[in-house]
Every structure is written in C-alpha cells, then in structure tokens.
Amino acid sequence: MKRELYNNLLKWKSGKNRKPLVLQGARQVGKTYLIKQFAQQEYKQFIHLNFEKNPELKEIFNKNLEPEIIIDELGFLFGKKIKKESALIFFDEIQVSEQALKSLKYFYEEAPEYHIIAAGSLLGVAVNKEHSFPVGKVTFLEMYPMSFAEYLIAFGDEMLQERIAEMKSIDGWLEILHNKLLNHLKLYLFLGGMPEVLQNYLDNKNIALVRKIQNDIIKAFENDFSKYTTRSQTIKNMEIWNSIPTQLAKENKKFKYSDVKNRARAANYELAIDWLKRAGLVNISYRITTAKLPLAGHTDESKFKLFLLDTGLLGAMLKLGSDIIIKPNQLFKEYNGAFIENFVAMELSKIDDRRLFYWISRGEAEVDFILEKDNHIYPLEVKSGTSRTLKSLRSYEDKYNPKRIIRTSPRNYFQQDEFINIPLYAISTLFNFL
C-alpha cells in the first residue's frame, strides 16, 4: 500500500547533508514494510538487522563503534561486501541496543556516505532514557497509522483523493460524490488506519476478522508496557490506557485523573502519559489560556485531552458493533462524537507533526482545536452532525477577531463571509483554504 512518507524517504536519500534517519512510530504502523519497499525500489543492497528477533546482533556494536569495523563485521555476517552508495542498512527495533543507537553519531561524523535508517516501536521511549543519544546527528521522521487519504488510495479511489488534495477554493461536491466519501469515512472510522487491518479487509471483507486483528494489536501494545519501565509504572501505563476510551466518550472530553482511579493525582500518572505519548500511542491536546502566538507558550498543561492513535482501535476498545457502519450517521454521533474528534486529532497531528490545542471560555464556550499558520490563529470546531449553530465559534470570534472561523462536519463545502465549513473527509487539506 502506498504511504505518503515514501516521498520523505526519497528526499532524505538524495539530500546533500544526509544524516542517519530515525523513523519513530507505534508498533504495527508499517515502518518495517515501508523501509523494505523503499530498499527494494531504490537500492541494490538491503542489510536488515532486527535487534529484537536477533539479540545476538548487539555483540557487533558492544565490541567497537568504529563505523568501518561495524561495516566489515556486517559484511562477514551477511557474506557480501557492503557498498557505500548502493546499500541501505536498516537497524530495526534499535531501542534494544543502546550501543547501536550510539553508533549513529559515528556514522554521521565518520562515515556519512553510508545510508542508515533506524526504527523501533518503542524508540521514542528508549530515547528518553538516560543514555547517550546522538542529538543533532540524526534526522527524525514520525510514522502514523494510514491517513484517510492513504486509505482512499488503497481502496481504489486515488482520483477522489487527488481532487480533495488539489482543492483550494470552497466549491461544493456533487452530492453523489460527497455521500460516497462520507460512506468511505464511516468505514475508515471503524477500520482505522493500521495497515494490517486495512489489507486484511481488502483481501477478505470480513469484519469479524478485522476486529480480531485490532484486538491483537491492542494486546501487543499492552505487552510493550512492561518494556523499559518498572512493574509499578507498567500498572499506571495500563490504567491510563484503559481509561482513554471512556474519557473520550464523555460529553466533556477533558482528561480527568479521577476517572482513572479514585483520588488519583497528576503526580502519580504524569510519567505514564509521557510514556504513552513517546510510544506513539496517544495524541495530547492542551488547553490554551489565551489565543496568542506562539500557542505553546500560552497553554495550561494541567488541562488536556488524550486521543488514541487510531479510531479503529478506539472502536475495538469500546466494543463497538459493526452494524453501526450501515446506519446513516450513527457512527459520527456515537459516544458524543468521540470518533469524529479523535479522527480530526489524528489527521491534524500528521501535518508537520503538529501539536494540538483547544480553547474554553469560562465554561460558556469551547472550540475543539486552535491552529496557528503563518502568524495567524484560527479556531476549528468539530461537529458530528449537520447542525448549523456556531455559538462557540462566534464567542471566540467576538473575543479574538480571527481572519477565518472554521467548522468541520459531515456537511459539504460551504463558505459565508469569514466562515468556512470543510467536510470531515477533507480536514487534512484545511490549510489549503487559509
């Protein structure tokens, strides 16, 4: 399946000041598959080291971190001479080997002609540990579950996806096309963007099998909780993780520690939330205290929302039945619009690895997302239904007078003065219209 990140890999390969590339992302988002595909199409040699499957590989790096010595050892191991310009060397699950992580620094400083990519499902967690990491010596890329645009391409509607991406004016679709995209979106919300899930559905069209795969992925995530941390921290990771679906199902989706455990406090769970974030399993949206640039400088980090990395996994954790797909708009409204807001958070976070923010005014109004672009701030309201009320957006507008106020909903493209409505399926193209 085609991934948008492939173009980033091509730019990295041809870059003049190429550094070793560190590819981060949660387990099973498709990192290894993408790198194998990239190697097959762009290189003559592929050296794949998986430190989790073959822990004895660590011995090569424990002896010496001199790049040429490492290359010689790998050559003996694979039985072939590794050529500088035509080989891709892939350090998979690199977080297992602290010394392999350190070696990236020396590859950059002493042997930059080698093409090195490192990846790992818990790499973000490992990087946070107290060991030497080559800060400034590597390039980072973040990989996410497949976006809705990638889903459309996989499901044979690349022409529709291209038209969505190219639109820069608010011209409504024909209703037949609009409804087709809404049906696609409902299926995507249920399936989510984990590549194995989407491929299996394409091959078998079996919803029951899809749900089993989703549950297996959730179990794999939970098994990872015990890695790189203590037993007590593992329990806290699990408690936060299990609370997220019910927190999102509330009308007010603000995260509450008391919903995790009675009398729970931030001091007990802050590390668990940070762990889940670094593992790529959650997106965090912080409340801003005022709409001023930079938004990150005006946040109250004690008030936030937690979103899962994938709506399909959210549905599995909530045990949502597959019959909801055929109901006209039920999935959009289910659990107080939890799937829709989580979907929008997923799509926005993939744009330049964007941080997420929201705004509340004394409990009177709430704007779901606050965005910054080219020194301007824009409010974005998420609607799961076709309601045309703009109370919260108008409240924000009265206070801050933004250039645009934006809503995303199941409605078609629409503009009136400074207000624009973007269909949910096109939210990733929001900045085309600003």
- DSSP per-residue letters across 342-378: HHHHHHHHTSTT--EEEEEETTTEEESEEEEETTEEE
Domain end (from 127, 142, 157): 142
State which residues form the domain around 356. Answer: 148-433
What does the block give as tokens for 288? 């801003």
What does the block give as tokens for 383? 């609607």
Q: What is the mean pLDDT of residues 182-193?
A: 94
- How many Å apart are CA 387 and CA 141, to the nearest integer? 38
Contact 371, 364 (CB under 8 A): no
**Same-domain pairing of 292 and 186:** yes
Closest CA to 89 of 126, 134, 119, 127: 119
Lowest mean pLDDT among 47-56, 197-206, 345-354: 345-354
**Same-domain pairing of 128 and 152:** no
**Same-domain pairing of 207 and 276:** yes
Domain end (from 86, 111, 142): 142
Is residue 34 over pLDDT 70? Answer: yes
**Same-domain pairing of 166 and 286:** yes
Lowest mean pLDDT among 89-98, 305-314, 329-338: 329-338
**Same-domain pairing of 122 and 173:** no
Lowest mean pLDDT among 129-138, 312-321, 407-416: 129-138
Instruction: State pLDDT tens for residues 356-374.
Output: 999 998 767 899 999 999 9
**Same-domain pairing of 132 and 154:** no
**Same-domain pairing of 113 and 205:** no
Instruction: State pLDDT tens for residues 38-51.
Output: 999 999 999 999 99
Q: What is the mean pLDDT of residues 206-213?
A: 94
**Same-domain pairing of 87 and 180:** no
Across all residues in the chain, what is the average pLDDT?
A: 92
Query: What's 77's domain CATH number?
Result: 3.40.50.300
Q: What is the pLDDT of residue 239?
A: 96
Q: What is the pLDDT of residue 326?
A: 61
Domain end (from 88, 107, 142): 142
Q: What is the pLDDT of residue 382?
A: 94
Contact 358, 370 (CB under 8 A): yes
Lowest mean pLDDT among 15-29, 132-146, 149-163, 179-193: 132-146
Q: What is the pLDDT of residue 122?
A: 85
Lowest mean pLDDT among 126-130, 206-210, 302-306: 126-130
**Same-domain pairing of 101 and 176:** no
Is residue 410 over pLDDT 60? Answer: yes
From edge to edge, which strands make up the β-sheet containing 365-367? 299-308, 282-288, 356-361, 365-367
- How many Å apart are CA 396 and CA 306, to the nearest integer? 23
Assign residue 224 a region: left if phi > 0, alpha if psi is -120 to 50, beta otherwise? alpha
**Same-domain pairing of 131 and 200:** no
What does the block give as tokens for 385? 């239904």
Query: pLDDT: is 169 or 24 the higher one?
Result: 24
Query: pLDDT: is 123 or 130 the higher one?
Result: 123
**Same-domain pairing of 133 and 252:** no
Q: What is the mean pLDDT of residues 139-151?
A: 96
Lowest mean pLDDT among 33-47, 256-270, 378-392: 378-392
Q: What is the pLDDT of residue 32?
A: 96
Q: What is the pLDDT of residue 171?
A: 84
Q: What is the pLDDT of residue 241?
A: 97
Residue recorded with tokens 């976006």? 147
Is residue 355 over pLDDT 80? Answer: yes
Q: What is the pLDDT of residue 331?
A: 66
When pLDDT is cut at 50, 70 and 90, the band that residue 133 belongs to is low
- How many Å apart are CA 415 and CA 20, to the nearest integer? 45
- How many Å apart are CA 312 and CA 29, to the nearest integer? 13
CA neighbours closer than 13 Å in the CB half-sphere of residue 207:
14
Domain count across the chain: 2
- How many Å apart are CA 174 and CA 143, to the nearest integer? 34
Q: What is the pLDDT of residue 353?
A: 81
Q: What is the pLDDT of residue 57?
A: 96
**Same-domain pairing of 125 and 171:** no
